[in-house]
Structure 1
Amino acid sequence: MPGVAGFRLHTPLNRADIFDELIVFQGASYFRALGKDTLYGLSARGLAVNTGLPEGEEFPRFSEVWLRRPEPGDSSATIYAALDSPSVTGAYRFVITPGDDTTVEVTMRLFLRKDIKQLGIAPLTSMFLHNGADKGSFDDFRPSVHDSEVLVLNAGKDATLCRPLNNPPRLASSYFGAQSPRSFGLAQRNRDFEHYLDAQAHYERRPSLMIEPLGDWGKGTVRLVEIPSDLEGNDNIVAYWIPEGETRAGDELAYDYRMHWGMNPPGATPQTLGRVVRLRSGHGGVAGVEADTQTRKFVIDFAGGQLSDMPSDAELEPIASAQNGEIVEAILSRVDGRDEWRLVLELRAEPDAIVEIKAVLSGYDRNLTETWVYQWINA
């Protein structure tokens, strides 16, 4: 229909007497949804094509949309959409179920018209400006400004990666290989107003979004793209799944997945493992004595899981590594008076080096925490 930019659905999400916005489709193949008590934040897309590549990105759009008329008593709404672009055409079905965590079950069938260098399945788009880990040059009264703070990848039965987001000095990408992942997504874990101090935007109420593959997605990679930004109005974070193998003209692809939008949807925070609760960074050296500008210090606090019951003399050890850099020092200790363990890493790297850092706390023949991963650009 000419003149129609998009549409939205309403439902009594938070109160029985008020029809709140539940989901909105607007612009290309973009859409975003809400769980109970959340405010609009990150978005999803139907498909990503050549994002952040020199060839230039292509933005498929939903050219036609159909809403199936709900029957009395239905708890879900079903939407069908046709996707179109120069390189691909597709058919989508969305089954939307509101709740504390609103779910959107997606069925997609793709037909490739051209070779595609990089196809992004279940793409997510968000905003990260700054937080306590590195405020950069922002002269801002708010300690943190972001719609999402970490990328989470649940790769195996007891393997969870937590990648805090960055606002990098230049375009940056990180790649995380996985075989049949349980879920991945962008999470807003900190729900404390004091973490943000924004009485208008209320970033503490932005939803997390986790993608749960349905069926076996096989081998592939989760790509994280981080784009430099000086404004919180810019969506500068993108994450999506890249299937292994080439995507050629004439290929027919099928993917099914379930999206979970909410304050703490399944998979956003590990249930049995300790989690990263805080990240700070600064110059190296001994605090209060002498700064070492040749090194960078990263302070990672872990809590939860079995860590809560561990005494200060527990036999825990950090397993840490740095690609393209050197770990000068690694110190692990329990934080007095708190059920937290603090890992302090001090690193050295060549100027302009892109350093990939990884750390996990281990003990008693198993990993006790999710794996913290981070990209440090020594600009």
Structure 2
Amino acid sequence: MQERAKEDYKAPESTLPDVVANLSYDQHRAIRFRPEQALWRAEPGEFHLQAFYPGWVFKDTTKIFIGTGGVYRQHVFDASDFEYRPPLDPSAFQSLKLDGVAGFRIHAPLQRPDYFDELVTFLGASYFRALGTGTRYGLSARGLAINTATSETEEFPRFTAFYIDQPQPADGSIRIMAELHSQSLTGAYLFVITPGHTTTIDTTCRLYPRTDITRLGIAPLTSMYFFGENDHSDHDDFRPEVHDSDGLYVVRANGEELWRPLKNPQTLALSYLQESSPRAFGLLQRDRDFSHYEDAEARYDVRPSLLIETIGNWGNGTIELVEIPTDSEVNDNIVAFWVPEAKVTAGTPLEFRYNMRWGLATQDPTLMARVAGTYVGVGGNAAEAKDNPTSRRFAINFSGGTIQNLPADAKLEPQVDVPSNARLLDSSLSRLPDGGWRLSLEIEREDSQPVELRVKLSMLQRIVSETWLYQWTSTS
């Protein structure tokens, strides 16, 4: 990949026959991989592989090489590996050989030993997503983000080939390497995937820029936030909340934990957290109460969280959060990634290592209280203030940690940072019935610029909670 970066970029040419390239959405979804054809199904072991058929929007294919003893050979799928359901005519596909496929998925026994569940899927550009025990697909990861939310055209690098070590019977992990191509760079990736209650993907990426890059997003995460407790929906929907993730979580280099609730803004919203080699960041789904979603089909209450744990010194940079307005839950409108402070220049290679944690609970136990809910509404007397957008009431619930054991009259001290373009009108702290604590704030803004709020709890001059962050804009 380092040598290929010295060559001029050539856009991929579609080699799909017309009958495949012209498949409609309904036709494409009528093609299914036959489970009995899965790679390694007839062998003892913990992993099976199935391919996705090309066509429809998946016109750029990827090649799959299987390795044994360090030697990798391309595996070519053919028509007999797939089932062609109505309205398709199976005879139109029987003679086709597929030099490449749209992507693939790995299955493993996540829930019970006699059934192989989907574990991880690589499909489309550099997108992939994984599951831990008891979860359903939600947010996705990407290999890389280039010029996301800038004035320049965004690039979508893609994995053009995968090199997969054939798993042995005693292997608890599967090892996958990948080639990444884009107009601005090439890349080589290593993924070591270990299934479990929390599935981990130990990742190494080496990047070789062809050109200077304005904004390089490392370990990008993509999710959906339609509406929730902190931004009331204008939609006539029976469900109280609809989202794959409800907050951005960050562990700073000094161990401080940050929580930034997500929103569906009325206009594009960008947040920048300047950090020096943070320990971790991720998009989490903290709310696991089914009654808060009431969606028996989508089951947003079991969508996985995804935490990126950095390995080594990442230097100075910014965790960027992009929130895009959406009027539908089918759109992924949330993006988060790490942007190095150092300029990305042609010919200067980069390497990043990180561990990805996918599951219901991706955070380690802590003595710190965590934010359990954020509620926002008009300030003051609601009947009188509903038409006054300059005043807002914020209710922040904290739970867990050592403050859960305190009596109701304990002397907790809120530390509230309000910027110069706003002022704190009122603050109160009270005990909740479930043992947690609620901090209520009334804040008035003084101009139309975003108000960046910051709150944490202390006791006896010691911090006892994570830090709550919030961006209050004139439209939210």
TM > 0.5 fold call: yes
In 2, the alpha carbon distance for the partners of 1:41 and 1:59 equals: 20
Task: Check conservation: 2:188, 2:206, Cα contact below 8 A.
Answer: yes
Which ranges of 4 or more aligned residues in structure 1 deviate by more than 4 Å? 287-292
Shift of 1:157: 4.4
Q: Structure 2: how far apart are the matches of 1:164 and 1:337?
A: 23
1:173 maps to a residue whose letter is L
Question: For residue 163 of structure 2, what is the aligned residue in structure 1?
Answer: 66
Q: Summarize the alignment of residues 164-243 of structure 1 with structure 2, pairs less than 5 Å apart.
A: 164-243=261-340
Q: Which amino acid aligns with 2:374?
A: L
- Cα deviation for residue 328 of structure 1 reads 2.9
Q: Does the Cα contact within 8 Å between 1:324 and 1:353 map onto a contact in 2? A: no
Q: In the alignment, which residue of structure 2 is the partner of 1:148? A: 245
Checking the alignment, whether the CA contact within 8 Å between 2:421 and 2:447 is kept in structure 1 is no
Check if 1:360 corresponds to 2:456: yes
- How far residue 150 of structure 1 moved from its aligned partner, in angstroms, is 0.6
The answer to whether the aligner puts 1:286 opposite 2:381 as a matched pair is yes
Whether 2:117 is the aligned partner of 1:11: answer no
1:330–1:343 Cα contact (<8 Å) kept: no
How far is the alpha carbon of 1:67 from its aligned partner? Answer: 1.0
Partner of 2:36: none
The structure having more radius of gyration, on CA atoms, is 2
Higher helix fraction: Structure 1 or Structure 2?
2
**Alpha-carbon deviation of 1:291?**
5.0
- Taking CA–CA contacts closer than 8 Å with sequence separation of 6 or more, which of the two structures ends up with the larger relative contact order? 1
Alpha-carbon distance, 1:113 to partner: 0.4
1:42–1:207 Cα contact (<8 Å) kept: yes
Alignment match, 2:400: 304
1:39 aligns with 2:139: no
Partner of 2:367, secondary structure, is coil
Q: Does 1:343 align with 2:439?
A: yes
**Structure 1 residues 56, 282: closer, same or farther in 2, change over 3 A?**
same
Once residues 401 and 198 of structure 2 are traced to their aligned partners in structure 1, the CA distance between those partners, rounded to angstroms, is 23
Q: Is the 8 A contact 2:210 2:347 kept in 1?
A: yes
Which residue in the other structure is 2:124 paired with? Answer: 27
Q: Residues 139-195 of structure 1: CA distance to partner in whole angstroms, max 9, x if unpaired?
A: 211110000001000113441000000101111111112222111100001111001
Indicate if the aligned counterparts of 1:120 and 1:242 stay in contact, CA closer than 8 A. Answer: yes
CA distance in 2, matches of 1:320, 1:138: 33
1:285-320 CA distance string (max 9 Å, x none): 135776572411111111111211222332222111
Q: Pick which of 47-56 and 317-326 moved more.
A: 317-326
- Aligned with 1:277 (options 367, 372, 382): 372
More strand by share: 1
Cα separation, 2, equivalents of 1:376 and 1:290: 17
1:349 and 1:290, CA in 2 relative to 1: closer, same or farther beyond 3 A?
Answer: closer
In the TM superposition, what is the alpha-carbon distance from 1:68 to its structure 2 partner? 0.9
Mapped partners of 1:129, 1:377: distance in 2 = 17
- 1:271: how far off? 1.4
1:341-360: per-residue Cα shift (whole Å, max 9, x none)? 11111122246421111111
Query: What is the RMSD of the two structures over their aligned residues, measured on CA atoms?
Result: 1.6
The gaps in structure 2 that reach 5 residues or longer are: 1-62, 64-98
- SS of equivalent to 1:105: strand
Residue 324 of structure 1: how far off its partner (Å): 5.6
Query: What TM-score do the two structures reach when normalised by structure 1?
Result: 0.96
Does structure 2 conserve the Cα–Cα contact (< 8 Å) formed by 1:213 and 1:258? yes
Q: Specify the code of the residue in structure 1 equivalent to 2:195.
A: P
Structure 2 residue identity aligned to 1:201: A
The letter for the 2-side match of 1:378 is S
Amino acid in the other structure paired with 2:242: V
Q: Where does structure 1 lack aligned partners over 5 or more consecutive residues?
A: none
- Kindly indicate whether residue 196 of structure 2 is the aligned counterpart of residue 131 of structure 1: no
Identity %: 50
State the secondary structure of the residue aligned to 1:307. helix
Further displaced range: 78-87 or 326-335: 326-335
Indicate yes or no: 2:346 matched with 1:249. yes
**1:131 partner letter:** G
Aligned partners of 1:157 and 1:319: how far apart in 2? 18
Moved more, 213-222 or 166-175: 213-222
Matched residue of 1:308: which SS?
A: helix
Matches within 5 A, 1:309-324: 309-323=405-419
Which moves more between the two structures, 337-346 or 200-209?
Answer: 337-346
- Give the distance between the partners of 1:37 and 1:151, measured in 2 at CA: 22
